[in-house]
Amino acid sequence: MQIDILQLAGIITAIGIIGGALFAIFSFYVEHKNLKKEIKALKKENTLLCYCLAACLDGLNQLGANGTVSEASKKMSKYLNLAAHDEDE
């Protein structure tokens, strides 16, 4: 069996394409894994910020700042309650 230069080039090209596709899939998987970790960390940070904001609104409410503070405090409490129940599921 004799292989000429065109057949050899075709084989090398096919191997390169398959290797490139496998590398692209692997790179996507690694990037997706890293993004999931970053999103998880951002969710934790966002939860902490929401609890801090709720505490600030509660403190302002206790000091007598009414009006939009009371409304915002109620909305924040409702949001945190709904978010906590969605997180459990």
Q: What is the model's pLDDT at position 82?
A: 85
Give the tokens for residue 70.
Answer: 């009371």
More confident residue, 66 or 69: 69
- Is pLDDT at 89 greater than 60 in this prediction? no
Percent of the chain scoring above 70 in pLDDT: 96
Question: Cβ(69)–Cβ(46) under 8 Å?
Answer: no
Taking only the tens place, the pLDDT of each residue in 26-35 is 999 999 999 9
pLDDT band at residue 88 under the 50/70/90 scheme? low
Q: Which residues contact 50 (CB under 8 A, 6 or more apart)?
A: 76, 79, 80, 83
Q: What's the predicted TM-score (pTM) here?
A: 0.61
Instruction: Supply the mean pLDDT for the chain.
Output: 89
